[in-house]
Structures are given as structure tokens and as C-alpha cells.
Structure 1
Amino acid sequence: MASTDRHPEDENADPGQEVGELVGRLSAPGELEPGERRRLLGRLTRALSEGAAKAGKSGVGRGRWLADVFLNIAPRIPIRDLHTLSQHHHGLTGEELADDLVRNAMKATMTVGAIGGALAAAEFAAPPLLLSAPAQLVAETIVVAAIEVKLLAELHEVYGVHVEGTGTQRAVAFTAAWARQRGIDPLAPASVTLALGAATKTALRNRLMRVLGRHLTTLGPFLTGAVAGGTLNRMATKKLGAAIRNDLRIKSPLPPGETPRPLTP
């Protein structure tokens, strides 16, 4: 892929910082123009390719490298508090706000999957460039994970499950919860203080590799990758949203007057 959008100053940029900034922009609230999203995803692909090459030379396995990258960028994922969430969603609260958050996240991961799948399909149709396809799917995996971690964290805000700690500690705790597909227990301080333990890193690596494996199945000719990528991401995000909401309802039920209900498509 031609690097027509790389600026001279990018040559001296820190790849890790660039990855964090790009993932932050791709997972931020609001709509991105398709062309801008595709451009940012292309830049992220190149940045990750450079990091993967360095990791390969140092003997670091792909799964471990992928988990390290995500833990590094997790604090850059934009998480909104309850007041801001309600403002951004036309004053909605409670279950209606949770519905809207999940629907938006489903749309976002579906869009990323469709773009990534289309890029992968284009590479599949051009055999000399096929080797670059995995890097594109790694980029898609990172962005989808960031969107889902953001969703999980903001659902905690909606259901009043407050997670204490610094911004980095909270980001790691939400990432660990995403790896296990569960909500955080506010009565268990260890859920934050031990979030960087070996078991958590293993769970994160395994979760990211499962997402990457799902994306690898979308490789196919023409636009089949785009259709499959978008659909699989949408279904996975919907499943995550339902699981986290059910978990959080048990940990911190909504106030009287709020009636829990299943997510509607």
C-alpha cells in the first residue's frame, strides 16, 4: 500500500505513541468519514507492521507482542463519565442509554470489520501483496478491542459500578475485564491492583488472538471479507454488551423505576 499520507515528521515519531493516538482517534465518539477511517486504519497498519518487525527480531511471539501493544495503548482509549455520556446521547439514562451505547459500538466494530475485510479481500485478489494482509487484520483487531473496552468501561458508568484508581489502573482493569468478558466487582479491590498479573496478561493474549483468528477467517476474494468481517464483529460486540450488562445488573442494580430488559437489535 502506498504511504501517500505519511508526513515527514512521522519518520521520527515514536511508533508506540503513534499507535496509541491512532487507536484513540478510531475509537473516539462520533462518526468518521469513511475515507478518513480508512486512511487512519492504513496508518495504523503501517505503524503496527513496524512494531511487529522489531518484535520479531527480538524473538517476541505475536500473541505476547499484541497483548503488550494493547496494554500500552489502553490508557489512551477515550472513556466518558455518566454526565458526558448522557449529554452525548440526547439525555438518555439507564437502560435506554445502555441500549444506545451497545448499538453504537456494534455499528463501530461492524464498520471497522467491513473496512478491514475489504482491505484484506483486495490483498487476497492481488497475490503479490497477500503477505501484508495479516498486518491489516492485526490493526482491525486492535481497534475492535479498543471499541469494546470503551463500551465495557462506559457500561460500568451507566450501571453505577465505579472503579477506583488512576487512569492507567482503571484502563488496565477494564482491559482485564474485557479479556474475561465480565464486569468488574467493585467490592473486590484486587480486581484493579492485580490486573497486571500473569493470569490477566495470559487472558488478554488469548482473547486478542481469538479476535485475530476470527478476522483471519474473513480473508476471501472480492468483497466477501468485508461482509464477513462486519457481520462477525457486530455479533461479537452484541454478545459482549449483553453479557456485561447482565453481569453489572447483578453487581449494582439500577435505581427503582428502571426495568432491566434484553438488548434489542
Structure 2
Amino acid sequence: MTPETDRSNEEVADLVGKLVAPEEADGAERRRLLGRLSKALARSAKNARGSGAGRGRWLADVFVNIAQRLPIRDYATLQEHHYGLTGEQLADDLVRTAAKATTAIGAVGGALAAAEFAAPPLLLSAPAQLVAETLVVAAIEVKLLAELHEVYGVSVEGNGSQRAAAYTMAWSKQRGVNPLTPGSATFALGAAAKTALRNRLMRTLGRHLTTLGPFLTGAVAGGALNRAATKRLAEAVRADLRRQRALPPA
């Protein structure tokens, strides 16, 4: 990996972190950050010289770097940030917040893509915007998945990068982490795991391609599709976690 690629990927991770932050951002700020992220991703892809299947590998590598830097709050911090809620109510609020965030990103990303669709000379820049939306939505969902583990008291052992890898792989499979699975405490993203991650990211990107439509249809479709997908993920993960561990005392 070249120094230019490293710098581009660090910029990408920083911008995604700002878009994933729990603080509310208005639509104008989201559009500004997504625009910057699109340009940074275009530079990263160019530096990586990826094409075809290589682009999928590049996308997975970029996301692994992002996932390792996501700030995952512990149970006490989550309670503090969510007005003292506990248990299922806290989990419900986390899901509502994440779904609201992915809806907003989908609406902004869809609107950007719609604007590009309406201006044919700029159409070629639209895919970078959809890649940006894909990475931000995936990051929001991985963060949600990780914090649901905190709420349900399901501990994922290991250092920061190992835990990030475990949550990323769980997102790829759309389920919770089972800490009883052999090797889960020393989880690392090997070739098979990276293939699963790449496939999940490419499916998510494919979903976002449906937002490439004229006028406001992209914004409406982008928001609705993201909200539904985030809720489906949350339902599957929560079902897994309930089976694994009872809720901690309120």
C-alpha cells in the first residue's frame, strides 16, 4: 500500500467517523461531508488502481480500516447518552437512532445521485457518491451491532482490532457474534472473511444503485431502503443476542 493510499484511507476513515458520530448533523453538513468523502474515495480508488474484482477488495480493505476506528460505547456510556434507558428500551432507542441516521444518509446520498442523473455530464461521478453512502451506512450498522452486544451483555474478547474484526464479520453475516465459537476471541479477517465482507458491501452498494433516479425519487428510495435494512439487521442481531445472554439487571 502506497503512502498516498494510506493518506487517502485515513481521510476516508476520518470523514466516515464524522458522519457516524451520534451528534445530530443537519442536511447541509451531511451533504458537505458526503461530497468530501466521495472525492476522498475517488482518490483512494485511483491510488489503489483497483478495477473489476479488485475494486471489491479495495472496498473491503477501506472498510476494515474504518471499522477499526469506530468508537463503540460501553453499557454505562450508552445509558448516559440515552437518558438512563436500560435493557430492551435502550436497545429500541439505539435501533431508532441508527435507523434515523441511515435514513438520513440514504436521503442525502439518493438526492446527490438524483442530481447527477439530472445532469448527464456529471453522471460519471455518481458511483463515488454511492460508494460513500454504502460505507457510511455499513459503519453505522456495525457500530449499532457492536453496541447492541454491550446492551445485551454479550462480551466479545480481544484487542480493539480483533473486536472490530468480529463485529465486521458479524455484520457481513447479518447476525450477532457468538463468543462461544472457537477462535472468536482471536478473530482476524482472513481471506474467507474478507470475501464475505466484500460480498456484503457489494450487495449493499447494489441496493444503493436503485437510488440513481431522476428528481427526488432517489432521496425517497435511498432513505426507505436504508431504514428497512437497518431494522432487519437489528432484529436478527437482537434475536441472536437474546438467545445467548439474558439482559443485565436494570
TM-score, normalised via structure 2 length = 0.94
Bigger shift: 53-62 or 145-154?
53-62
Give the aligned partner of residue 32 of structure 1. Answer: 25
Give the aligned partner of residue 177 of structure 2. Answer: 184
For residues 41 and 186 of structure 1, what CA distance do their matches in structure 2 show?
35
| Amino acid of the structure 2 residue aligned with 1:94 | G
Give the aligned partner of residue 243 of structure 1. Answer: 236
Q: CA RMSD for the aligned pairs?
A: 1.8
Give yes or no for contact 2:56–2:198 (8 Å, CA) kept in 1.
yes
- Which aligned pairs between 1:53-72 and structure 2 lie closer than 5 A? 53-56=46-49, 61-72=54-65
- Which aligned pairs between 1:248-263 and structure 2 lie closer than 5 A? 248-255=241-248
For residues 241 and 30 of structure 1, what CA distance do their matches in structure 2 show?
21
Q: Deviations over 1:113-170 (max 9, x none)?
A: 0000000000000000000000000000000000000000000000000111111111
Change (3 A) 1:13 1:65: closer
| Amino acid of the structure 2 residue aligned with 1:176 | M
Change (3 A) 1:23 1:71: same
| Amino acid of the structure 2 residue aligned with 1:31 | E
Bigger shift: 225-234 or 195-204?
195-204
SS of aligned partner of 2:153: coil
For residues 181 and 13 of structure 1, what CA distance do their matches in structure 2 show?
29
For residues 195 and 206 of structure 1, what CA distance do their matches in structure 2 show?
17
Give the aligned partner of residue 193 of structure 1. Answer: 186
Q: Given the alignment of the two structures, is residue 145 of structure 1 paired with residue 127 of structure 2, yes or no?
A: no
For residues 197 and 145 of structure 2, what CA distance do their matches in structure 1 show?
15
> How far apart are 1:217 and its partner, in Å?
1.1
Give yes or no for contact 1:122–1:221 (8 Å, CA) kept in 2.
yes
> How far apart are 1:75 and its partner, in Å?
1.3
Give the aligned partner of residue 96 of structure 2. Answer: 103
Q: Given the alignment of the two structures, is residue 234 of structure 1 paired with residue 222 of structure 2, yes or no?
A: no
For residues 104 and 173 of structure 2, what CA distance do their matches in structure 1 show?
24
SS of aligned partner of 1:132: helix
Give yes or no for contact 2:211–2:222 (8 Å, CA) kept in 1.
yes
Give yes or no for contact 1:176–1:195 (8 Å, CA) kept in 2.
no
- Which aligned pairs between 1:8-19 and structure 2 lie closer than 5 A? 14-19=7-12
Give yes or no for contact 1:67–1:208 (8 Å, CA) kept in 2.
yes
Change (3 A) 1:57 1:218: closer
Give the aligned partner of residue 215 of structure 2. Answer: 222
Give the aligned partner of residue 155 of structure 1. Answer: 148
For residues 245 and 132 of structure 2, what CA distance do their matches in structure 1 show?
35
Q: Given the alignment of the two structures, is residue 127 of structure 1 paired with residue 126 of structure 2, yes or no?
A: no
| Amino acid of the structure 1 residue aligned with 2:166 | A
SS of aligned partner of 2:246: coil
Give yes or no for contact 1:23–1:77 (8 Å, CA) kept in 2.
no
Matched positions, count? 247
Give yes or no for contact 1:176–1:204 (8 Å, CA) kept in 2.
yes
> How far apart are 1:54 and its partner, in Å?
2.2
Q: Deviations over 1:79-133 (max 9, x none)?
A: 1000000000000000000000000000000000000000000000000000000
| Amino acid of the structure 1 residue aligned with 2:118 | A
Change (3 A) 1:166 1:13: closer
**What is the percent sequence identity of the aligned residues?**
72
Give yes or no for contact 1:169–1:192 (8 Å, CA) kept in 2.
yes
- Which aligned pairs between 1:72-91 and structure 2 lie closer than 5 A? 72-91=65-84
Give yes or no for contact 1:28–1:77 (8 Å, CA) kept in 2.
no
SS of aligned partner of 2:49: helix
TM-score, normalised via structure 1 length = 0.89
